Amino acid sequence: MRYRTESDILGKINVPSDAYYGAETERAKQNFPISGLVEMPEIIKSYAIIKRSAAKANMKLGVLDTRRGGAIVSACDEIIDGKFADQFIVDVYQAGAGTSINMNLNEVIANRAIEILGGKKGNYKIVHPNDHVNMSQSTNDTFHMNIHLSSYIAINEYLIPALSKLEGALKKKSIEFKNALKIGRTHLQDAVPITFGEEFSGYVGAISAVKKRLVEAQKLLLESPMGGTAIGTGENTPKGYKEEVIRQINAYTKINFHKSSYMFKTMSTQLEEMALSDALYDTAVALDKIANDLRLMGSGPIAGFADLILPPVQPGSSIMPGKINPSMMEMMNMVCFQVMGNCSIIDRCADYGQLELNIYMVLIAHELMFSIKILSNGINAFTKRAILGLKINFKRVNANLNRDMSLATALSPYIGYAKAAHVARRAFIEDKSVKDVAIEMHILDKKLLDKILDPKNFAIKKSRRK
């Protein structure tokens, strides 16, 4: 491999001659061979939007010449389009609050801008990573902004659409299953009848609720720390920069960010990120509950609940022929577990920010984006391969309904709780229906028993009470 020699405060270092990154990125590569995980494309794209907007603002305010500024903007546009993705090589587990990633962006943008202007990589007299690309900026404010921007965009583009599709699919099932009765269950024991439609309407409500929480958390991300530079002081920014750089970001993204009212708060705490993390945690809990319920209701097909017939998506065993597992529910469970763990990491990172700056922003950014992406992808697969193909096992469900002891609940207003409990217990011991035992005991007129102990009429009565 051929190299070029670059210099920084620590001295000279060799950088691959064809690399668009420079000395500081090379040092980070050598210092942090930790996980092989680099920042996700969405975070790099978001950072390039920020760099582009800063260059536009600096040109507008007259502190950056249009020749250099135009080349910087062009380089950023290429990165936003996905070019040079292999040049962003810094490991997620690194030092500081994102300085290495910021410099990785600065160096790649600078070297590409140098090429655009006819120079050779490494000739920073033409475009300098710090003096020109990083002008009016610090890692402190730009990486905070990167978290806000990348998370906001990812929620809009990935997570909300995925949840909306799931919500629509569940609503469709709640309508399809509107009149389909089943035994209700509490404590994993038989309870009064419920319709599948009612049960699925609960899932619709849960998804609707977490969507609202995500949207509320999104609003908090609209507070921009741009222009705060070093720890919120605004050092080295021209007059009007804070307002102009936000205008440029908003013009490009069509999002309405606004200047932080408390810049030092925005720099030193991660309250907005924690609010988003909480909403993601709530989303994972809601999804995990739905996946668990469907896994239980689809258990069997002989010895389980077998209320539902789950769509078969793949063989379930390498040794037991014909076995089909609830694979999509298990996948959704694991995604939710991962997100819950990620949220715990975010809380820990936020808690350990010290004094004027949190040094764990890179990990916060990674865990937020990772959570948003796997939730979105998991939900899309879950909706398509699990929810849309769900069917009711009417043979099993109806057989269970006829033997449902909890129907004795309907006897309580007529004969009292204690006597109704005696009927239910006898029905269980003798393996008979509640109605058969009630008839044998001559408790009520048969015609009345037919009415009040019919599961269908029971559900209709519940509906009228609403």
Residues carrying an active site annotation: 187, 317
Look up residue 58 and give its two tokens: 């600096």
**By the 8 A CB rule, do 370 and 342 touch?**
yes
Question: What type of residue is 19?
Answer: A
Question: What type of residue is 284?
Answer: A
Identify each DSSP E strand in 226-300 by its residue range: 258-259
**By the 8 A CB rule, do 18 and 35 touch?**
no
C-alpha 60 chain-centroid distance:
37
Identify each DSSP E strand in 84-134 by its residue range: none
Report the interhelical angle of 99-116 vs 66-80 (nearest 10°): 110
Cα–Cα distance for residue pair 193/240, rounded to 1 Å: 66
| Neighbouring C-beta atoms of residue 122, cutoff 10 Å | 19
**By the 8 A CB rule, do 182 and 459 touch?**
no
C-alpha closest to that of 229 among 69, 58, 367: 58
Residue with tokens 């024991």: 189
Burial track 22-50 (b if 16+ CB lie within 10 A, e otherwise): bbbbbbbbeebeeeeebbbebbbbbbbbb
C-alpha closest to that of 173 among 294, 282, 280: 294
Cis bond upstream, residue 301 (ω within 30): yes
Report the interhelical angle of 41-60 vs 99-116 (nearest 10°): 60
Cα–Cα distance for residue pair 305/320, rounded to 1 Å: 20
C-alpha closest to that of 333 among 381, 285, 396, 300: 285
Paired with 48 in beta bridges are: none
Cα–Cα distance for residue pair 160/374, rounded to 1 Å: 13
Residue with tokens 């920020």: 50
